[in-house]
Amino acid sequence: MNNIFLHYLLKNFLKTFLIVVLIIYGFGIILNLFEEIEFFKNVDVSILKPLLLTSIFVPSMILNLLPFIIFISSIWFLLKIRNNKDLLTLKVYGYSNIKIFFILAFTAFIIGWVILFFINPVTSSMVKYYEQTKSKYARDIDHLMTFNKNGLWIKENTTDGQRIITAGKPLRKNLVNVTIFEFDADNLLKRKIYTKKANIESNKWILENVIVFEPINNIFEKKIIDTYEISSNYNYDKIINLFNNSDTMSFVSLLFNYENLKNNGYNSIFLDRNLHIMLVLPFFLFLMTSIASILTMHTLKRSNNFMFIILGLIICVIVYYFKDLSIALGKIDKIPLILGIWSPIIALSIFTLIGVFQINEK
């Protein structure tokens, strides 16, 4: 009999979770599709291209919303079994509130680890494909930056034309092996600049030991300059932030290739931040399921589901902003970064511990 009840709980809880995921996926497709259509409106592609890109981008968005999806799923499932008296039946056969709570919470915890090891590598690859595909069609954008096997490429507008920059990967506030092509308003090459090192700490780049080719009487002549300055829309922090998209990096890659990623130029702070943000996911799922259990299992009476929907939305908003605020404080060194990532888990754990004692008495 215990196996039957356990199978019932797990089957229906997972079913509810999948239904909520599919609903969110559908809304995500609808909302993001408009953005993709707007992006491709002046490009000669079929409607299948925006639809394909939307379908492979939304799963990554769902992973970011997973704590709130599991919270909504848990409330929906628990309200359903409470209102149809299944919760009462379970308690008659020896399933206490605390037992049901642990079954659902540990199921959510396991879901978190399964997603990190098996789903996240797939979604990160999909986001990489998404970004690479969009970059191919982004040539008409005024300012564009991309990185491929040939290095860093930047296209940006200047006051009297355009500039295209190629270089190696940013490292320690510098770019190496930099080549800059400057074009006038008629897209005619007016200057070519080469340097082995460019300091890009600010938007005013400082180039050292520069070779400049400029046209004189329609012939490009070579000049060697000790120091040369250019103003750019990009600096080191902006390039790193654009290049280091955490959605393109999987948990498995961070876990097993940490040193390789660091040697390839990734900032250790960025790697640590993303590793811990991913590590907290199973604990977040556990705690959000716990909060849903505490809210719904304090009584066996039927209740108005609308009230719980509003309450659930309020809790999701509070947790979301508290989580973002905590990480933001860590990023600006107001608190240690790792503490900032784990603070919501610590706070929710205290709240959950108090609530579990209360529902265990019911």
Residue 240 domain flag: no
pTM of the model: 0.77
Question: What is the tally of structural domains in the chain?
Answer: 2
pLDDT tens sequence across 105-160: 999 999 999 999 999 999 999 988 887 787 677 654 555 677 666 678 888 888 88
- Pair 326, 350 in one domain: yes
Q: In the chain, which residue ranges form alpha helices assigned H by DSSP?
A: 2-39, 48-64, 66-83, 86-92, 97-114, 120-136, 236-243, 251-256, 258-263, 268-279, 281-296, 305-331, 337-360
* Residue 9 belongs to some domain of the structure: yes
* pLDDT interval class at 57 (50, 70, 90): very high
Residues 10 and 118 in one domain: yes
Say whether both 211 and 285 belong to one domain.
Answer: no
- Higher per-residue pLDDT: 303 or 177: 177
Q: Are 359 and 101 in contact (CB under 8 A)?
A: yes
* Alpha-carbon torsion (18, 19, 21, 22), positive or negative: positive
Segment 233-240 mean pLDDT: 78
Longest CA–CA span in the chain (Å) reads 96
Taking residues 195-205, what's their average pLDDT?
A: 91
The pLDDT score that the predictor gives to residue 303 is 64
pLDDT at 61 over 80: yes
Q: Look up the domain containing 59 and give its range.
A: 2-137+245-360
Cα 86 from Cα 69, distance rounded (Å): 23
pLDDT, residue 74, reads 93
- Indicate the residue among 171, 199, 232 that finishes a domain: 232
Query: Residue 161: left (phi > 0), alpha (psi -120 to 50), or beta?
Result: left
Half-sphere exposure of 145 (CA within 13 A, CB side): 18
Domain assignment present for 329 = yes
Per the domain annotation, does 121 fall within a domain? yes
The reported pLDDT for the residue numbered 140 is: 45
For the cut 70, the answer to whether the pLDDT of residue 97 exceeds it is yes
Q: Domain check: are 14 and 127 in the same one? A: yes
Residue 239 lies in a domain: no
The answer on 284 and 265 residing in a single domain is yes
The Cα-based distances of 88 to 1, 35, 74 in angstroms read 16, 47, 17
